[in-house]
Structure 1
């Protein structure tokens, strides 16, 4: 109906003002014929120009709706926008300005330098990176610094949180290749993102997951004043291949805040956690069992001043060796614990298989009881191997593991081929290790498989 009415209206205009030409809009066209004068003069010419303007406005009104893209096609065009790389300081002098200018999928690439900013990521998913992203050169990590300490402040003063990640950022968000130091928190993260190849030095908590999580890997944590990694709320993270040195409190702290719903999996694997001021890994219980499973595998935890793995009750974060009866399932497989004051304290459903625990000043296993089971472990040179714990004596090895200085197994170590790949309690599988994960006749004990 609209098209028919519009055509009639245009014909009236063309007939009245004796226009010439062809007007085409959408699938419709009108042939405009000359009916009189060849030229227009004076006021009549002015009238003609005004009438042409009227015609163009009418045609624009008609053509617009007919030629606009459907919403789904417009969305496709937007989605095909090529990601940009925004350079700091070449394109924007400050990192936050570049973040604000970025769209989903863009990369903010930061040149070497010292930047004293408190950054916020929210409402989008981007990559925030140093040139390490392009070069894989660790020197670019060392030279690209986010520093929370203002000039002239004391060495150990707390600065601001250096990067805050809001809960609404996308899961493809990445923070890669920075030295992050002297912050209150280095990164406070409420979303699931990737944090990789960074150096965290002298922060409060280096990474504070406030209900967030994601992937934390290939980072160096050194001399952070509180914890290297702190998981609170409904945090769910994989923490792997990190070097965690000399934390003021815990290497990794996990608070089991009240939570029910989809099972949360917290995975801690292939890390080296050395010299923690309190615990290597501390798990803090709260009232009521939560829907979480914690898997701790193939880590080295050494020279902690308190416990390699300490279980605490009722929100208490000050280690007192209470050996709390935490009901959540904790899987502790293939770890090497060396020269700690305590090995593992507490746990009511803690499964410890294929570990090496040596040189413990006090007790290797303290009150790991309830539904817990400790099997296929090597214990050596500990003051006390176990106290009040569910230790399977038949599979426990009491020999010198002959560890190298970097905690590997030499040829002839009693740990070689001494582990278990499958363990059941009744019909319940407590341990199952795929064949691809080990060599020889059986898995080796400890964090590292021996490579001939």
Structure 2
């Protein structure tokens, strides 16, 4: 019996050791650190710095580490955390810097990145929001807005030089660049992927010369970018060209360029296909037709089809108009043009029992955890819901939810305390989803101290 206990203890310790570290940043003091940079400084390659909601006034540098820095979007898939977790650069340089050889496993995800200012006093300045020099991070699911560059500098929102970065599913808006790239500037970089982004209301100022690329600029020696499934609208170059895109070597596909000033595209050596471009552009599958956005004046660039599924003139011309050889949209239809697809799956008014989603309890994250962990769950209709944590012998430790809720996905946070407010000890715990006081799902978690 003693051997069995020792073996179990050994396996438990081994299980904890093989997990990368989850570092919690919470400015309220409930995590490991109160600033994001402190979390980065104490992280090792492969770790995750998980940032709780708040406004963090700082300028962060990854210091060459291949780590993930993310909001609770990472653990919950709830996009509300993007707007609730803000890194404010306080106009004190680039908000986020990748300048020490970081690779694609250096990830920033789920933040609002704002109020950065690239200043001439910095010899490596450019990129008011995010700077990537000799580095190739992954930048995904962020709002990058209201950043700027000093005169003669590039990339109000993002600047990449000698980089193969992935820029995925971001909103890049209201940034101001000087000379090249109000939204994004790609310079002396090969095979940068720009995909799924909405890029709008950015400005490139000319200063004492000619400016280029209000939305995106791709230039310099050996630069090349793949630009696909983006929506690029309402960007401006005050004196110059390429209000939407100025590119000297790129592939553009399944992209919408509309209402950019003074023109949609300029440059050379750029292949454009299956894209909606105001004023037209030569190339396979390109169209020139109002994309019928939902509410572009307020930043809603979803495609519309008022009389769906009737194939009339209320259908956005971008629907099913993308490259037929591209991967299908999630609804298994031909790819749409732009960052957002129109969902053509028809839901019956009274779906069959088989078609209804089940109640679901998700694995907590992080796991193991030391300070806080998030537990998410889904309910299919209005029910009485309980989320309860038990110890390994079945004693109730903490009730995290006890309420009636309508259909939807929810999240609760356990701080490791029991119902009396005392800290629970390290070990294995179980959490349970109960519907109308009947258990429907149970998952395991590990608390470490």
What is the aligned partner in structure 1 of residue 19 from structure 2?
A: 82
Distance 1:242 1:416, change over 3 A: closer
Supply the distance in 1 between the matched residues of 2:262 and 2:160 (Cα, whole angstroms).
Answer: 24
1:106 maps onto 2:50 in alignment: no
1:146 aligned residue (73, 87, 101): 87
Q: What residue number does 1:411 align with?
A: 311
Listed one character per residue, the Cα deviations across residues 315-366 of structure 1 (whole Å, up to 9, x for unaligned) are xxxxxxxxxxx3x3x221111123xxx655xxxxxx611111147xxxxxxx
- 1:307 corresponds to which of 263, 279, 291: 263
Distance 1:283 1:93, change over 3 A: same
When the two structures are superposed, what TM-score results if normalisation uses the length of structure 1?
Answer: 0.54
Q: Please point out which of 36, 54, 58 is paired with 1:95.
A: 36
Structure 1: runs of 5+ lacking an equivalent = 1-76, 150-157, 286-291, 312-325, 345-350, 360-401, 422-432
The alignment covers a number of residue pairs equal to 274
Q: Distance in 2 between matches of 1:84 and 1:270?
A: 34
Shift of 1:186: 0.7
- What is the correspondence of 1:194-273 to structure 2 with a 5 Å cutoff? 194-204=138-148, 205-226=156-177, 227-249=182-204, 250-259=213-222, 265-273=224-232
Matches within 5 A, 1:149-168: 149=90, 158-168=91-101
Q: Cα offset for 1:102?
A: 0.3
Residues 306/336 of structure 1: CA separation in 2 closer, same or farther (3 Å cut): same
The runs of 5 or more residues in structure 2 that have no matched partner are 1-13, 118-127, 149-155, 205-212, 295-301, 346-449
Q: Are 2:131 and 1:188 aligned? A: yes
Report the TM-score, using the length of structure 2 for normalisation.
Answer: 0.54
Shift of 1:228: 1.3
Q: In the alignment, is the contact (CA less than 8 A) between 2:51 and 2:72 conserved in 1?
A: yes
1:296 maps to 252
Shift of 1:212: 1.6
1:281 aligns with 2:281: no
Matched, 1:176 2:109: yes
Q: Is the 8 A contact 1:355 1:446 kept in 2?
A: no
Is 1:356 the equivalent of 2:322? no
Shift in CA distance, 295/160, structure 1 to aligned 2, threshold 3 Å: same
Post-superposition shift, 1:137?
1.6
In structure 1, the partner of 2:63 is 122
RMSD: 3.4
Find the aligned partners of 1:199 and 1:280 in 2 and give their Cα distance: 21
Mapped to 2, the partners of 1:119 and 1:125 lie a distance apart of: 14
State the distance in 2 between where 1:120 and 1:147 align: 14
Q: Indicate conservation of the 8 Å contact 2:215/2:235, yes or no.
A: no
Cα contact 1:209–1:235 (8 A) shared by 2: no
Contact 2:23 2:50 in 1 (8 A): yes
Deviation digits for residues 73-121 of structure 1, max 9, x if unmatched?
Answer: xxxx9xx753101111311222111101100100011111111111111
Deviations 1:353-401 (A, max 9, x none): 1111147xxxxxxxxxxxxxxxxxxxxxxxxxxxxxxxxxxxxxxxxxx
Report 1:418-433 matches (<5 A): none
Q: How far does residue 246 in structure 1 lie from its aligned partner after superposition?
A: 0.6
1:96-149 deviation per Cα after TM superposition (whole angstroms, max 9, x unaligned): 111011001000111111111111112220001111111122221111111122
SS in 2 for 1:142: helix
